[in-house]
Protein backbone atom coordinates (compact mmCIF):
# COMPACT_ATOMS: atom_id res chain seq x y z
CA UNK A 1 0.00 0.00 0.00
CA UNK A 2 2.86 2.34 0.88
CA UNK A 3 4.53 1.61 -2.49
CA UNK A 4 1.30 2.42 -4.34
CA UNK A 5 1.08 5.72 -2.45
CA UNK A 6 4.59 6.71 -3.56
CA UNK A 7 3.89 5.71 -7.17
CA UNK A 8 0.76 7.88 -7.24
CA UNK A 9 2.65 10.71 -5.53
CA UNK A 10 5.48 10.45 -8.08
CA UNK A 11 3.02 10.58 -10.99
CA UNK A 12 1.30 13.62 -9.49
CA UNK A 13 4.63 15.36 -9.02
CA UNK A 14 5.59 14.54 -12.60
CA UNK A 15 2.44 16.12 -13.98
CA UNK A 16 2.73 19.04 -11.56
CA UNK A 17 6.15 19.81 -13.01
CA UNK A 18 5.10 19.67 -16.67
CA UNK A 19 3.67 22.74 -18.36
CA UNK A 20 0.24 22.37 -19.95
CA UNK A 21 0.19 24.11 -23.34
CA UNK A 22 -3.51 23.34 -23.90
CA UNK A 23 -2.86 22.80 -27.62
CA UNK A 24 -5.93 22.73 -29.85
CA UNK A 25 -5.50 22.19 -33.61
CA UNK A 26 -7.40 24.63 -35.82
CA UNK A 27 -8.70 23.12 -39.06
CA UNK A 28 -7.65 24.77 -42.33
CA UNK A 29 -8.80 22.08 -44.79
CA UNK A 30 -9.66 18.37 -44.75
CA UNK A 31 -6.01 17.45 -44.18
CA UNK A 32 -4.44 20.65 -42.84
CA UNK A 33 -4.33 22.18 -39.36
CA UNK A 34 -2.37 24.71 -37.36
CA UNK A 35 -1.71 25.48 -33.71
CA UNK A 36 -2.09 29.15 -32.81
CA UNK A 37 0.70 30.64 -30.69
CA UNK A 38 -0.02 33.42 -28.23
CA UNK A 39 0.69 36.97 -29.44
CA UNK A 40 3.07 37.63 -26.58
CA UNK A 41 6.76 37.58 -25.77
CA UNK A 42 8.40 34.56 -24.12
CA UNK A 43 7.31 34.13 -20.50
CA UNK A 44 6.99 31.51 -17.80
CA UNK A 45 3.22 31.93 -18.02
CA UNK A 46 2.98 31.00 -21.73
CA UNK A 47 5.74 28.38 -21.68
CA UNK A 48 7.27 29.95 -24.79
CA UNK A 49 4.20 29.13 -26.90
CA UNK A 50 4.29 32.29 -29.01
CA UNK A 51 4.56 30.96 -32.58
CA UNK A 52 2.31 28.99 -34.88
CA UNK A 53 3.06 25.43 -35.92
CA UNK A 54 1.16 23.45 -38.55
CA UNK A 55 0.69 19.95 -39.88
CA UNK A 56 -0.50 18.28 -43.07
CA UNK A 57 -1.96 14.77 -43.13
CA UNK A 58 -0.91 12.77 -46.20
CA UNK A 59 -1.94 9.29 -47.37
CA UNK A 60 0.42 7.48 -45.01
CA UNK A 61 1.96 10.06 -42.69
CA UNK A 62 2.04 13.57 -41.24
CA UNK A 63 4.21 16.52 -42.28
CA UNK A 64 4.99 18.93 -39.43
CA UNK A 65 5.89 22.56 -40.08
CA UNK A 66 8.02 23.86 -37.18
CA UNK A 67 8.22 22.26 -33.74
CA UNK A 68 7.67 25.05 -31.22
CA UNK A 69 9.80 26.37 -28.39
CA UNK A 70 10.44 23.32 -26.19
CA UNK A 71 10.51 19.54 -26.14
CA UNK A 72 7.46 19.58 -23.84
CA UNK A 73 5.55 21.64 -26.42
CA UNK A 74 6.49 19.15 -29.14
CA UNK A 75 5.47 16.14 -27.04
CA UNK A 76 2.07 17.70 -26.34
CA UNK A 77 1.79 18.61 -30.02
CA UNK A 78 2.26 14.92 -30.87
CA UNK A 79 -0.57 13.97 -28.53
CA UNK A 80 -2.85 16.66 -29.97
CA UNK A 81 -2.17 15.40 -33.50
CA UNK A 82 -2.98 11.82 -32.42
CA UNK A 83 -6.50 13.00 -31.58
CA UNK A 84 -6.92 13.97 -35.25
CA UNK A 85 -5.09 11.11 -36.98
CA UNK A 86 -3.31 7.87 -36.08
CA UNK A 87 -0.83 8.36 -38.93
CA UNK A 88 2.78 8.88 -37.79
CA UNK A 89 4.68 12.16 -38.01
CA UNK A 90 7.44 11.24 -40.47
CA UNK A 91 8.65 14.60 -41.76
CA UNK A 92 9.52 17.86 -40.01
CA UNK A 93 10.37 21.16 -41.68
CA UNK A 94 12.13 24.02 -39.87
CA UNK A 95 11.28 27.30 -41.60
CA UNK A 96 14.08 29.33 -39.98
CA UNK A 97 16.44 29.40 -37.02
CA UNK A 98 14.49 31.31 -34.36
CA UNK A 99 13.99 29.32 -31.14
CA UNK A 100 10.19 29.50 -31.01
CA UNK A 101 10.18 27.46 -34.24
CA UNK A 102 12.77 24.70 -33.73
CA UNK A 103 13.39 23.95 -30.05
CA UNK A 104 10.89 21.09 -30.17
CA UNK A 105 13.12 19.26 -32.67
CA UNK A 106 14.50 16.93 -30.01
CA UNK A 107 11.11 15.21 -29.79
CA UNK A 108 11.60 14.24 -33.46
CA UNK A 109 15.29 13.32 -33.43
CA UNK A 110 14.57 10.01 -35.21
CA UNK A 111 12.65 11.76 -37.99
CA UNK A 112 13.82 13.53 -41.10
CA UNK A 113 14.10 17.20 -40.16
CA UNK A 114 14.40 19.50 -43.19
CA UNK A 115 15.83 23.02 -43.32
CA UNK A 116 17.99 25.25 -45.47
CA UNK A 117 21.76 24.97 -45.08
CA UNK A 118 21.90 28.39 -43.40
CA UNK A 119 19.22 27.41 -40.88
CA UNK A 120 20.95 24.10 -40.15
CA UNK A 121 24.23 25.92 -39.47
CA UNK A 122 22.61 28.54 -37.25
CA UNK A 123 20.80 25.92 -35.18
CA UNK A 124 23.94 23.78 -34.87
CA UNK A 125 26.08 26.74 -33.79
CA UNK A 126 23.64 28.68 -31.61
CA UNK A 127 20.93 26.24 -30.54
CA UNK A 128 22.39 25.63 -27.08
CA UNK A 129 22.67 29.38 -26.49
CA UNK A 130 19.00 29.85 -27.38
CA UNK A 131 18.09 27.15 -24.87
CA UNK A 132 20.16 28.78 -22.12
CA UNK A 133 18.48 32.14 -22.75
CA UNK A 134 14.98 30.66 -22.75
CA UNK A 135 15.54 28.59 -19.61
CA UNK A 136 16.03 31.87 -17.73
CA UNK A 137 12.76 33.29 -19.10
CA UNK A 138 10.42 30.32 -19.60
CA UNK A 139 11.87 28.12 -16.83
CA UNK A 140 10.10 24.79 -16.12
CA UNK A 141 8.52 24.39 -19.58
CA UNK A 142 12.06 24.10 -20.97
CA UNK A 143 12.88 20.96 -18.95
CA UNK A 144 14.32 18.23 -21.16
CA UNK A 145 14.80 20.53 -24.16
CA UNK A 146 18.00 19.79 -26.06
CA UNK A 147 19.40 21.14 -29.29
CA UNK A 148 18.59 18.98 -32.30
CA UNK A 149 19.78 20.31 -35.64
CA UNK A 150 17.99 19.57 -38.93
CA UNK A 151 19.44 16.52 -40.67
CA UNK A 152 18.26 17.01 -44.27
CA UNK A 153 19.12 20.07 -46.36
CA UNK A 154 16.36 21.67 -48.41
CA UNK A 155 17.58 23.12 -51.70
CA UNK A 156 14.95 22.13 -54.28
CA UNK A 157 11.92 24.08 -55.51
CA UNK A 158 9.56 21.22 -54.64
CA UNK A 159 9.68 18.46 -52.08
CA UNK A 160 7.94 15.10 -52.37
CA UNK A 161 7.19 13.58 -48.97
CA UNK A 162 5.55 10.19 -49.20
CA UNK A 163 3.95 11.20 -52.49
CA UNK A 164 2.72 14.56 -51.16
CA UNK A 165 4.27 17.53 -52.96
CA UNK A 166 4.94 20.99 -51.56
CA UNK A 167 6.45 24.00 -53.29
CA UNK A 168 9.48 25.28 -51.36
CA UNK A 169 10.08 29.02 -51.70
CA UNK A 170 13.35 30.51 -50.46
CA UNK A 171 13.18 34.06 -49.15
CA UNK A 172 15.07 36.28 -46.74
CA UNK A 173 14.38 39.44 -44.79
CA UNK A 174 13.11 38.28 -41.42
CA UNK A 175 16.31 36.23 -41.23
CA UNK A 176 18.92 35.39 -43.86
CA UNK A 177 16.92 32.27 -44.75
CA UNK A 178 13.13 32.13 -44.52
CA UNK A 179 11.40 29.11 -46.04
CA UNK A 180 7.81 29.45 -47.26
CA UNK A 181 5.76 26.38 -48.19
CA UNK A 182 2.91 26.38 -50.70
CA UNK A 183 0.53 23.43 -50.79
CA UNK A 184 -1.06 23.47 -54.25
CA UNK A 185 -3.48 20.70 -53.29
CA UNK A 186 -5.18 22.86 -50.65
CA UNK A 187 -3.95 26.25 -51.88
CA UNK A 188 -2.59 27.01 -48.42
CA UNK A 189 0.51 29.19 -48.03
CA UNK A 190 2.66 28.66 -44.93
CA UNK A 191 4.71 31.84 -44.61
CA UNK A 192 6.21 31.36 -41.16
CA UNK A 193 7.72 34.62 -39.83
CA UNK A 194 7.75 36.47 -43.12
CA UNK A 195 4.22 37.36 -41.99
CA UNK A 196 2.99 38.52 -38.57
CA UNK A 197 -0.79 38.94 -38.74
CA UNK A 198 -1.99 41.87 -36.58
CA UNK A 199 1.11 41.45 -34.45
CA UNK A 200 4.14 43.77 -34.52
CA UNK A 201 7.03 42.32 -36.50
CA UNK A 202 10.14 41.01 -34.73
CA UNK A 203 13.40 42.16 -36.31
CA UNK A 204 16.43 40.82 -34.38
CA UNK A 205 18.05 39.41 -37.54
CA UNK A 206 16.12 41.40 -40.13
CA UNK A 207 17.10 43.14 -43.33
CA UNK A 208 14.15 45.49 -43.88
CA UNK A 209 14.69 46.13 -47.60
CA UNK A 210 15.02 42.42 -48.37
CA UNK A 211 11.98 41.66 -46.24
CA UNK A 212 9.84 44.16 -48.14
CA UNK A 213 11.10 42.72 -51.44
CA UNK A 214 10.20 39.18 -50.30
CA UNK A 215 6.70 40.28 -49.28
CA UNK A 216 6.07 41.89 -52.66
CA UNK A 217 6.91 38.56 -54.30
CA UNK A 218 4.73 36.73 -51.80
CA UNK A 219 1.79 38.97 -52.68
CA UNK A 220 1.78 37.60 -56.24
CA UNK A 221 0.90 34.08 -55.06
CA UNK A 222 -2.78 33.21 -55.43
CA UNK A 223 -3.46 31.36 -52.21
CA UNK A 224 -6.76 30.61 -50.47
CA UNK A 225 -5.42 30.64 -46.91
CA UNK A 226 -2.25 32.18 -45.47
CA UNK A 227 -0.82 30.72 -42.27
CA UNK A 228 1.58 33.22 -40.67
CA UNK A 229 4.32 32.55 -38.17
CA UNK A 230 2.51 34.72 -35.63
CA UNK A 231 -1.15 35.70 -35.53
CA UNK A 232 -4.23 34.08 -37.00
CA UNK A 233 -4.59 32.46 -40.42
CA UNK A 234 -6.13 34.68 -43.09
CA UNK A 235 -8.03 34.31 -46.36
CA UNK A 236 -7.00 37.73 -47.68
CA UNK A 237 -3.91 39.59 -48.90
CA UNK A 238 -4.30 42.16 -46.11
CA UNK A 239 -1.65 40.65 -43.80
CA UNK A 240 0.96 41.02 -46.56
CA UNK A 241 -0.07 44.61 -47.31
CA UNK A 242 -0.07 45.49 -43.61
CA UNK A 243 3.37 43.95 -43.09
CA UNK A 244 4.79 45.93 -46.01
CA UNK A 245 3.27 49.12 -44.57
CA UNK A 246 4.71 48.33 -41.12
CA UNK A 247 8.20 47.71 -42.49
CA UNK A 248 8.12 50.81 -44.68
CA UNK A 249 7.07 52.90 -41.68
CA UNK A 250 9.84 51.36 -39.56
CA UNK A 251 12.48 52.01 -42.20
CA UNK A 252 11.31 55.56 -42.90
CA UNK A 253 11.34 56.30 -39.16
CA UNK A 254 14.96 55.14 -38.96
CA UNK A 255 16.18 56.88 -42.13
CA UNK A 256 14.44 60.20 -41.43
CA UNK A 257 15.45 60.07 -37.78
CA UNK A 258 19.12 59.54 -38.57
CA UNK A 259 19.17 62.15 -41.36
CA UNK A 260 17.60 64.71 -39.02
CA UNK A 261 20.05 63.94 -36.23
CA UNK A 262 17.49 62.37 -33.90
CA UNK A 263 18.53 59.91 -31.24
CA UNK A 264 16.70 56.66 -30.49
CA UNK A 265 14.40 58.21 -27.89
CA UNK A 266 13.43 61.08 -30.16
CA UNK A 267 12.53 58.65 -32.95
CA UNK A 268 10.42 56.62 -30.51
CA UNK A 269 8.54 59.75 -29.44
CA UNK A 270 7.38 60.50 -33.00
CA UNK A 271 3.68 59.85 -33.83
CA UNK A 272 2.71 56.44 -35.20
CA UNK A 273 -0.24 55.74 -37.55
CA UNK A 274 -3.19 54.13 -35.74
CA UNK A 275 -3.30 51.11 -38.08
CA UNK A 276 0.27 50.28 -37.05
CA UNK A 277 0.24 51.00 -33.33
CA UNK A 278 -2.88 48.85 -32.95
CA UNK A 279 -0.80 45.72 -33.68
CA UNK A 280 -0.36 43.51 -30.62
CA UNK A 281 3.11 43.82 -29.03
CA UNK A 282 3.64 47.12 -30.89
CA UNK A 283 5.33 49.12 -28.13
CA UNK A 284 7.73 46.33 -27.19
CA UNK A 285 8.66 45.31 -30.74
CA UNK A 286 8.87 48.82 -32.19
CA UNK A 287 11.18 49.94 -29.39
CA UNK A 288 13.27 46.78 -29.77
CA UNK A 289 13.50 47.31 -33.54
CA UNK A 290 14.55 50.96 -33.29
CA UNK A 291 17.20 50.17 -30.67
CA UNK A 292 18.48 47.14 -32.61
CA UNK A 293 18.51 48.68 -36.09
CA UNK A 294 19.50 52.29 -35.29
CA UNK A 295 23.30 51.69 -35.35
CA UNK A 296 23.14 50.14 -38.85
CA UNK A 297 21.06 53.01 -40.22
CA UNK A 298 23.21 55.60 -38.46
CA UNK A 299 26.31 54.12 -40.06
CA UNK A 300 24.71 54.14 -43.51
CA UNK A 301 22.66 57.35 -43.56
CA UNK A 302 24.32 59.74 -41.09
CA UNK A 303 27.42 60.06 -43.26
CA UNK A 304 25.23 60.61 -46.36
CA UNK A 305 23.20 63.39 -44.71
CA UNK A 306 26.36 65.18 -43.57
CA UNK A 307 28.00 65.44 -46.98
pLDDT tens-place string over residues 158-187: 999 999 999 999 999 999 999 999 999 999
Q: Which of 93-107, 195-209, 234-248, 288-302 has the lowest mean pLDDT?
A: 288-302
Beta pairing partners, 152: 114
Specify the pLDDT at position 98: 99
Q: Which of 102-106, 122-126, 204-208, 303-307 has the lowest mean pLDDT?
A: 303-307
Specify the pLDDT at position 4: 38
Going by pLDDT thresholds of 50, 70 and 90, the confidence category of residue 111 is: very high
Q: CB-side exposure of 195: number of CA atoms within 13 Å? A: 28
Residue 256, SS3 per DSSP: helix
Specify the pLDDT at position 302: 74
State pTM to two decimals.
Answer: 0.93
Specify the pLDDT at position 304: 55
Going by pLDDT thresholds of 50, 70 and 90, the confidence category of residue 103 is: very high
Average pLDDT, the chain: 94
Judge whether residue 11 has pLDDT over 80.
Answer: no
For residues 306 and 146, the model is more confident at 146
Specify the pLDDT at position 301: 87
Average pLDDT for 25-30: 99
In angstroms, the CA 207 to CA 203 distance is: 8
Average pLDDT for 59-73: 98
Cα-based distances in Å from 51 to 15, 40, 284: 24, 9, 17
Q: Which of 9-13, 143-147, 252-256 has the lowest mean pLDDT?
A: 9-13
Q: Which domains does the chain have, with CATH numbers?
A: 8-236 (3.60.15.10)
Give me the helices (H) in the chain, please.
2-17, 71-82, 99-102, 117-138, 208-218, 238-259, 264-268, 274-277, 282-297, 303-305
Give the residue from 249, 255, 247, 253 showing the smallest Cα distance to 303. 255
Average pLDDT for 71-83: 98
Helix/strand/coil (H, E, C) string of 206-223?
Answer: CCHHHHHHHHHHHCCCCC
For residues 107 and 5, the model is more confident at 107
Judge whether residue 38 has pLDDT over 80.
Answer: yes
Specify the pLDDT at position 18: 82
Phi, psi at residue 215, to the nearest 5°?
A: -65, -35
Amino acid sequence: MKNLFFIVLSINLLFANSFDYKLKPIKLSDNSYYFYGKEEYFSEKNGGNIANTAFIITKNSVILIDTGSSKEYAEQLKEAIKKITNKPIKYVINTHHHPDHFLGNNAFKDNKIYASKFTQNEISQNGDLYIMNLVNIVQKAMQGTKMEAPNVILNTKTIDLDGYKLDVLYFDGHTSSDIVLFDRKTNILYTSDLIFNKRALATPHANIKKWISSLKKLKKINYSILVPGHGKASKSKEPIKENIAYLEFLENSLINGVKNGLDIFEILSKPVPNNIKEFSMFEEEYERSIINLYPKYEQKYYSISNH
